[in-house]
Amino acid sequence: MRLNIAMLAVLGSITVAHAAPVTYNVDPDHTHPSFEVDHFGGLSVWRGIFKKTTGKVTLDAAAKTGTVSITVDAASIDLAHDKLNEHVTGPEILNVAKFPTATYEGTLGGFSDGAPTTVTGNLTLHGVTKPVVLKISSFKCIQHPMLKKEVCGADASGTFSRADFGVNFGQQYGFKQEVVLHIQVEGVKAD
């Protein structure tokens, strides 16, 4: 009987720590989706970047769950070629006057050692929403020495066909439609 009372006292003093989801605001100065697209069926590969991104990431490492919500300003595309930027943002390709943003909503998964390894979600581009899975190749959270806040960062990548989104300019000239997407992201823990 004493053993049972002693065990109850010990068990009663143990509290289970439950981590709550933490929200991180995407740092627009350190988050830049970039991409690679074909030019004339293998003649060369064009690389570009979107310079304006906003969003939030929630993470509950203990529960191995999280979400991602990213909005990209489509007009902020930069292919290091001013005339091409104008063409790509125009009505023949991205049509940013009609579709000013692209969004990605996803769920973190494949946790290993408390870090996600995948994002399964939906990309909305040019008014069309399709599933896109991203592989996370690196993920790290630190107490940022200058911001004095927790910051998490990741590098993720995936592929999709731009034709699936109605962005198929150049297909008639043999342009391959696959887009290789790379996302470097940093998020600052919300107050």
Q: How far apart are CA 153 and CA 31, in angstroms?
A: 9
The predicted pLDDT at position 16 comes to 35
Give how far the C-alpha of residue 166 lies from the chain's centroid of Cα atoms, to the nearest Å. 21
Neighbour count for residue 32 (Cβ, 10 Å): 18
**Cα atoms in the Cβ-side hemisphere of radius 13 Å centred on 56:** 10
> Whole-prediction pTM value?
0.88
Percent with pLDDT over 90 in the chain? 90
Q: How far apart are CA 189 and CA 191, in angstroms?
A: 7
pLDDT digits (tens, 9 = 90+) for 60-118: 999 999 999 999 999 999 999 999 999 999 999 999 999 999 999 999 999 999 999 99
Percent with pLDDT over 70 in the chain? 90
